[in-house]
Structure formats: C-alpha cells, structure tokens
Amino acid sequence: MSSKTNKIIGAVVAIAIIISIAVLVYVNLPKQTETTEDNNDDHKTSPPTLTLFYNDEQTNFTFGEIERLESYTAKGGYRNSIGVIKGMGNYTGVNITTLVNTLHPIPYRYTLQVFAEDGKNMSYNYSTIIGLVPIYNAEDGSVNGTGNMTLVLAYKYEGDWLNESTDGKLRLVFLDDHGSITESKYWMKMVTSIRIITE
C-alpha cells in the first residue's frame, strides 16, 4: 500500500516539477512582437529628442513626432574652413519653418538659438533662417553669390538615419534642389534644443 502511495506521490511531484519548468521557460522566452512600419524602429519610440523653447514655454518632440511632420528632401553639402567639400548628398528632415509653425501663437519674425548635445550653441538670424546664405561652386569652391536655401532639421542622409554616435539623430543643414554648397559654420550636428526668440 505504501509503495503504491509513494509511486503516486512521486508521479504528482514529477508532474509538478515538469509544469513548473514549462511555466519558467515560457515566462523567460523572448516575447515576439508584431512589427509594423510605424513601430519597428527605436527612432520613433525614443524619449523626447528635441525641445523647442518659446515664450517661456517648452514643447518636447519625440523622434516619431518629428518624423510625422511634413518632410522635406533635397540636396546639399558644406565647404569646411580649408575649402574641402563634405557631406554632399540627399537629406530628409523637417523644414525649420514647418517646425516653428507647430507653435502657438506662430512667431512672425524670429531668430534661433540652437543647442547641441556636445554643449555647443549657435545663433541664426532671420535672413539665415530663410536661407539667404552664401553658396559655393562644388567644382572649384568659388562663391556663386547668395542662395535661396532651405534650413532643414535633418534626420536622414541618403535614405539612412543619421548616425547617432557621430552626428546625433538630428542635424541642421541647408538644402536646395540643385545641391548647392554652403559654409560648414551654418551646419550643426547633434541638435537637442532650439530657442525661438521673436524680434
């Protein structure tokens, strides 16, 4: 009788151990999540990527919120201090005026103070914001006059996300349909916040 009871107890214990192991394995398995075009990239689900300061208020944008704004794609490149052309290619991002127009009330004339992750900051006057900057010939680096460029907060270069480890997720660039070259001093990488100052 006790031998039969021991066998039953042993079987119950074995079943309990097997069930416990199965539950433990199931709980610790990596969860398969359905990926869609809208959620398969950490750029879109990241914490606030950009902060806009305006009228003593701040507005935070996640990367996904920036990307959902009307995008702008065009060409550009910059001439560094020794005359070498760099960064030439297609960029995609948000036109600065599109970004500023998300604010209420929308400022009419303004300057920008832009801050980067590495602690640098730069000011842009209104004529620079609307793209009235010197442009250069890509062939020989000579000045072509003043261009009608578009100031863009870019997040893609040649269809790929900007490299977070070197240039940051967001970069200020000057673009047009012709791929005009501007001075490197107008470009800014690793952008984290922008202060809008009304004139």
d(CA 133, CA 145): 8
What's the gap between Cα 16 and its chain centre?
51
Determine contact, residues 196/52, Cβ cutoff 8 Å.
yes
The pLDDT assigned to 181 comes to 94
Q: What is the pLDDT of residues 130-167, one digit of tens each?
A: 999 999 877 777 788 888 899 999 999 999 999 877 78
The pLDDT assigned to 139 comes to 73
The pLDDT assigned to 138 comes to 74
**Strand, coil or helix: what is 144?**
strand
**Strand, coil or helix: what is 52?**
strand
Q: What is the pLDDT of residues 79-133, one digit of tens each?
A: 988 888 999 999 999 999 999 999 988 888 899 999 999 999 999 999 999 999 9
The pLDDT assigned to 42 comes to 47
The pLDDT assigned to 59 comes to 94
Residue 25: pLDDT band (50, 70, 90) is low
Identify any residues that bridge with 176 across adjacent strands, giving them in sequence order.
Answer: 75
Determine contact, residues 86/184, Cβ cutoff 8 Å.
yes
In angstroms, how far is the first alpha carbon of the chain from the final one? 97
Q: What is the pLDDT of residues 181-196, one digit of tens each?
A: 999 999 999 999 999 9
Helices (H) then strands (E): counts for the chain: 5, 13
Across the chain, mean pLDDT equals 84
- In this prediction, residues 11-17 reach a mean pLDDT of 71
